[in-house]
Structure 1
Amino acid sequence: MYPDHNSAIAEILKTYSKLTAEQYDAVLSEQERTGKSLAQTAIDLDLLDDQELLQQVADYLDLTFVDVFPAVIPDNLKTLLESRHAHMYGVFPYQEEGHELKLLSMDPFNNSVVEDLSFALNRDISLVVADPDRIAELIDSVYGKESTSMEDAVEELQNIAAADNGEKDLEALAEEAPVIRFVNLVLEQAIRDMASDIHFEPFEDVFRIRYRVDGTLYEMSPSPVNLAQPVISRVKVLASLNIAEQRVPQDGRIRMTLGSRPVDLRVSTLPTQYGESVVLRVLDKTVVNLELDSLGMPEKIYRDTLNIIKKPNGVFVVTGPTGSGKTTTLYSCLKILNREEDKILTAEDPVEYEIDGIMQLAINPGIGLNFAHALRSFLRQDPDILMVGEIRDLETAAIAIQAAQTGHLVLTTLHTNDAPGAITRLIDMGMEPYLIASSLEAVLAQRLVRTLCRACKSAYVPDTATLQSLYPKIPDQPTTFFKLTGCDVCHQLGYRGRKGLFELMIVEDSLRTMILNRAPASEIKRRAVELGMATLRQAGTMAVENGLTTVEEVLNYT
């Protein structure tokens, strides 16, 4: 029982149980001899029973302990939790009270359960201590046992691939049960790990499958190269692509349900030396929280952003590199602005998430439908609010500013390093400074940095060199930072999840004058800081001080 929490159990046995010092020493000696957990060792020595220990765990964690389970689980309670969440976190719904969901937990020591499920379910979560074996039985009886292991699926798939000898056509091979099962397991694992992308990569001697989690790629166990053909064929069938065509890139989309969860996957194939490389972008609205107040903005930036997007006209730019969360921020803004009395049109490349009540258009440069063409057409559709996925050229920028000057609110993105850099970028495109000064309301620069795994991060006192890299002036007070360690919860990466860093530059009158005078970005930035703008580096430093991320992450991304 609780094998991963021996240090906490040791504290419980010393503080909350009635064990004597001699009995406690006996537990330690026996545990060292057998290798069992401290909790199980104490139970095996008959020094306390399961129920006593569970009550002591609950007291230690300040949680409720229950030892009586309902004979019949109400259907409405079962549906509050998905099967994958129940199996992944070892939890079972116990009680619903308003916005709070109480869950029986097989591992009440794991703080990430509350954090992850609060985010995924968008409600308050609290844990209840109960017999882990009984909880496991409930999970299996209500949600079913976990599906075939990945190892079993690989073995089945190898048998199919070895027996094929090229006799079956690709479409028939893609419909074989082991192929379907393996691909489903890969997708389910990606969803469980909250991966943003899945990479299928054939090489000469191995078939590599990798997930991108929190911006970093990590690899599943390498698979035999003969699995590549059936697996990639299966993905192409799901995406309605031509599986016989392997000479040119193809793009498609998969819409499927994993468990009870609808998931969209954007599919891209690329012919390479040893076969087709396939990348799936996971578009999962249950992972991406499209609520502006859930993006982790400081309160002032959140309030200022709300005020900006509620203006009747003007241009609001979100800037940052690819993968910095710009699209998520824009969608979150649109969700707030999505009212019955306003018409909202978006031009995207491609449409990543569908929002009810908003007219969304995917651009297609191959037929001449680019951002500029889409924007020009939008203005004939009597819109109130426009969203342009990205300003890439002068034509698009000119139409966006024209739209703002004729009474429309325009939301868009640019690729620049910081907020003041957006002004320089627009001028470099060829925009006249007076048009920018009269239309631009604000620029929000952002980055995503990986957050430390709460289960294994460790504190340390930074040396002078580390402090000098982060602070213009080293603080007088001693400073404690946190560093990554690595554990099973975070796949030994030391990081789990990501956090946004934000820099909001509101274009006030003095900045408009500087834009008109073509002031360099460095001077605009200096003035914006004088007016109260917190820089990305300052936001990152705050995250380090709060124990959320590492110095290395902040220096790398700001």
Structure 2
Amino acid sequence: MKNEPISLKRVLDAEFIVEMQRQSSSALNAIELIAESFGADADGYLQAAAAYFGMAPVTIDGMRLMKPEFDLISFVDANKRLCIAFTDQNNELKLVTADPLDVRTRSWIYARLRNRSAQSLSWGIATIGDLRSYLVSMEKTVRAMDSIGISDTVNASDSAALSISIEDISSTGSQIVRLVNSTIYDALRAGASDIHLETLSHGMNIKYRLDGVLTTIKHIDGSDTSEQVLSRIKVISELDIAERRIPQDGRFKVLAETREIDLRVSIMPNLFGEDAVLRILDRYHLSGERQTLSLETLGFADSAMAFVRRLSLLPYGLLLVTGPTGSGKTTTVYAAISEINTGLDKIVTIEDPVEYQLAGVLQIPVNEKKGLTFARGLRSILRHDPDKIMVGEIRDPETAQIAVQAALTGHQVFTTVHANNVFDVIGRFANMGVDSYSFVSALNGILAQRLVRINCPQCAIDDQPSAELIHRSGLGTAALSRFNFKRSLGCAHCRGTGFKGRRAIAETLSLDDTLRDLMAERAALSKIKHAARLAGLRTLRESAVDLVAAGMTTLEEINRVTPVE
């Protein structure tokens, strides 16, 4: 129960504060006790304390209008000392504190200001709750790599725990560990799918794959540093740090925001040492952002969504999703399974690795070191009374044979395979020795997909491509009347790239009797394509051109992703 309200002079009296400090562990806790004793709400106490100490009262809304100076007081120090440096609208330095009695922090700050150029300085006071809330919100945008220093003479053998948060990163003693952890932390914040560590003759480039393209994030000087970074990656991936002449593959997990994230690691020797690529597999990413994963969230056209849904509801058969690495094949299969997961069917998946967790679905990770391959796992799944099966990828003839047989014996099978388009899939299965008649009997349909970057909505403007670009893109002048060309200039929202987010485009092939006969007879590809056209096939290029016509992307982007027909 709070004490009776007392005068402000009594609250801020030195003897009263000393008494409160005896009851608390720090001056900061004393301030909290004083606020309780004063019996005022947060705003009332803030105004009263600001008037007493001669400081400007600062709310969380006021903090958001200023620019934080984490180079003066780092994010970690701001958390620890509850004092943040800002530059206000008048380009003046304002120090906002929640503890005006902390003499040590004031002395520490004035010592840091000695070597700083002359600038007007003022103090502000904020409530503890507002200051902490502001710091929590800033952790989502501040880059960990910007707050650490890298030297060439650090010890990479320190095995600090891989905890991915700014406070843990900055409290780590080894600078190499801090560099690796902060690189991963910033990649997760940026939504990168891959991290590339490229060793050069004089150092290392760090790049992220954002929206499907590589973006250089930082350059690290010093060949010693690059070697130690690679050694650190090998240690946490349980790879051989002494082996530098052959490629190595591994994986590890990090803990970020109370969830585990898998990273697949590929180490490759190069002319100056080794390169590393870390693929980020955040199995909670899609479901965490959108609660439920569905085909709508992937941006497919209505016709492609209707195709996948129709084939997903069939009682048996094979649905193939194809495309290159990183085209979203697995996510599409997950979305299809999520939509049909009613709890009435036994759904079993075998994957390498399990990329997203699906409630109510038995998901089996491949473990080749222990002998659990796709083929062996798929055989075991068939004895587990499944209704629907997902095979992460068809990689070898044995897995292909078992998947086809499963689809022929009353099971619905979802799987992915690497191929450029729906027609190349036929050749892939033929090359793996699968009987063509069994394959076409089991196959319900094929979906080929790509991901196209979308114009940033914040900086998009009307545009008119050059005649040369239109000709190179295979567009006839007669069709241009329906096009609404747009281009984005680049802004802070899209990091200056002009693109924000990606959308899936699809090519679908649904099998009818005519197509099955042609494929079983191994007819010429031209005949199969002609029959598919008559059946309503729309190519990847046509889907991409539709996005340009709607002003959602550019001709340069679709030329990068799809070939001109």
Q: Same fold (TM over 0.5)?
A: yes
Residues 246 and 508 (structure 1), Cα distance of their counterparts in 2 relative to 1, 3 Å cut: same
How much does 1:503 deviate?
1.3
Residues 367 and 276 (structure 1), Cα distance of their counterparts in 2 relative to 1, 3 Å cut: same
* Residue matched to 1:488: 492
Structure 2 SS opposite 1:223: strand
Task: Output the CA distance in 1 between the equivalents of 2:449 and 2:349.
Answer: 21
Task: Output the CA distance in 1 between the equivalents of 2:273 and 2:131.
Answer: 44
Q: Which runs of 5+ in 1 are unaligned?
A: 1-68, 73-85, 91-132
**Matching of residues 44-443 of structure 1 within 5 Å:** 139-140=133-134, 143=137, 150-153=145-148, 155=149, 157-158=150-151, 161-162=152-153, 164=154, 169-171=157-159, 176=173, 178-225=175-222, 226-241=224-239, 249-259=247-257, 262-272=260-270, 274-288=272-286, 290-365=293-368, 369-443=372-446
Letter in 2 for 1:268: S
**Matching of residues 20-59 of structure 1 within 5 Å:** none
Structure 2 SS opposite 1:471: coil
How much does 1:443 deviate?
0.5
Residues 219 and 371 (structure 1), Cα distance of their counterparts in 2 relative to 1, 3 Å cut: same
> 362-371 or 273-282: which moved more?
362-371
How much does 1:193 deviate?
1.7
Task: Output the CA distance in 1 between the equivalents of 2:490 and 2:143.
Answer: 27
Letter in 2 for 1:530: L
> 238-247 or 527-536: which moved more?
238-247
8 Å contact kept, 1:170–1:244 = no
Q: Does 1:513 align with 2:507?
A: no
Task: Output the CA distance in 2 between the equivalents of 1:288 and 1:516.
Answer: 39
Query: Over residues 405-446 of structure 1, what are the superposed CA-to-partner deviations in whole Å (9 max), with x where a residue is unaligned?
Result: 110011112222222332343234333332123211010110
* Residue matched to 2:80: none
Residues 528 and 472 (structure 1), Cα distance of their counterparts in 2 relative to 1, 3 Å cut: farther
8 Å contact kept, 1:346–1:389 = yes
Number of matched pairs = 426
8 Å contact kept, 2:327–2:449 = yes
* Residue matched to 2:71: none
8 Å contact kept, 1:462–1:479 = no
How much does 1:169 deviate?
4.3
Residues 410 and 488 (structure 1), Cα distance of their counterparts in 2 relative to 1, 3 Å cut: same
How much does 1:476 deviate?
6.3
Task: Output the CA distance in 1 between the equivalents of 2:481 and 2:394.
Answer: 45
Letter in 1 for 2:446: V
Letter in 1 for 2:451: L
Structure 2 SS opposite 1:373: helix
Letter in 2 for 1:343: K
**Rg larger in 1 or in 2?**
2
Quick one: percent identity of the two aligned structures? 38
8 Å contact kept, 2:452–2:505 = yes
How much does 1:190 deviate?
0.9
Residues 341 and 435 (structure 1), Cα distance of their counterparts in 2 relative to 1, 3 Å cut: same
Structure 1 SS opposite 2:440: helix
How much does 1:335 deviate?
2.0
How much does 1:241 deviate?
4.9
Q: CA RMSD in A?
A: 3.5
Task: Output the CA distance in 2 between the equivalents of 1:173 and 1:227.
Answer: 20
Structure 1 SS opposite 2:479: coil
Residues 513 and 261 (structure 1), Cα distance of their counterparts in 2 relative to 1, 3 Å cut: same
Correspondence for 1:551 among 552, 555, 562:
555
8 Å contact kept, 1:502–1:535 = yes
Correspondence for 1:455 among 431, 435, 458:
458
8 Å contact kept, 1:197–1:280 = yes
Structure 2 SS opposite 1:222: strand
Query: Over residues 257-309 of structure 1, what are the superposed CA-to-partner deviations in whole Å (9 max), with x where a residue is unaligned?
Result: 33455433223334555444332111124544542221111123212211211
